[in-house]
Amino acid sequence: MLAAVLLAVSLAAAATAVTLLVTRGGEGSDTQAGREEVMAQTEQFMLRMGTYGPDLLDDSGAMPDYRSGVKEVITSKFAASFDKEAGAAEQLVAQAGVSRVPDVFATGVSSLDEDSARTLVAGSFTDTYTVKDKTVPQEPIPFRIEVSLVKIDGEWLVDDFSPVTAGGAVPESGDPVPAPSDTTSTEGTP
């Protein structure tokens, strides 16, 4: 009788352990999928926001494809702020022939729940300028940025971003359009 009770307890414990492993494994893969999703959206945001140049200008000196590409990955709240600042990039491109290309080195997740996330992204921006019909490349400008995302209707969207460190060439919160750096300094907004 004692052997039967021990066998039943052992089987129940084994079943519980298997259930916990399966449940945790499922949550782990859901969590990993969520992490990968927010990191991918963060990278898309940086690539879209940090890529512009004369080829995006229309006849009026605006960059409608640039604006719409960025707006696809940001919240409407953030889009209002972005619209106010996008003109600065358009003006630099139209007047100085500025081009910018980002290179994202790494992204990571600092926090994640079902409807909000914070990510960290590091990389560099490479600018070129047109001076007397000659393209002048600049040294890459490093950036480290914390990005806030929210999940709206099942889609992760960027809601804000801010520099991780005070120094270096990173945009400040509320300045969503990276502007070219001064050629003599690495401080300021990208």
Residue 167, helix vs strand vs coil:
coil
Per DSSP (E only), the strands in the chain are 99-112, 116-131, 134-137, 141-152, 155-163
Which pLDDT belongs to residue 189? 36
Q: Give the single-character DSSP code of 105.
A: E
Q: Which residues contact 154 (CB under 8 A, 6 or more apart)?
A: none
pLDDT means per 10 residues, the chain with 190 residues, are 46 41 49 94 97 95 96 96 91 93 96 96 94 88 97 96 67 41 34
Alpha carbons 183 and 24: distance in angstroms, whole number: 52
The letter for the amino acid at 125 is F
Which pLDDT belongs to residue 166? 52
Question: Scanning the structure block, which residue is given the tokens 């992760």?
Answer: 156
Which pLDDT belongs to residue 28? 55
* Domain 2-163: CATH class, spelled out: alpha beta
Strands 155-163 and 116-131: unpaired
Q: Kindly list the domain boundaries of the chain, sorted by start residue.
A: 2-163
Alpha carbons 85 and 47: distance in angstroms, whole number: 17
Give the length of the chain. 190
Q: How many H helices and E strands in the chain?
A: 3, 5
Whether the CB-CB separation of 112 and 72 falls below 8 Å is answered with: no
Which pLDDT belongs to residue 13? 45
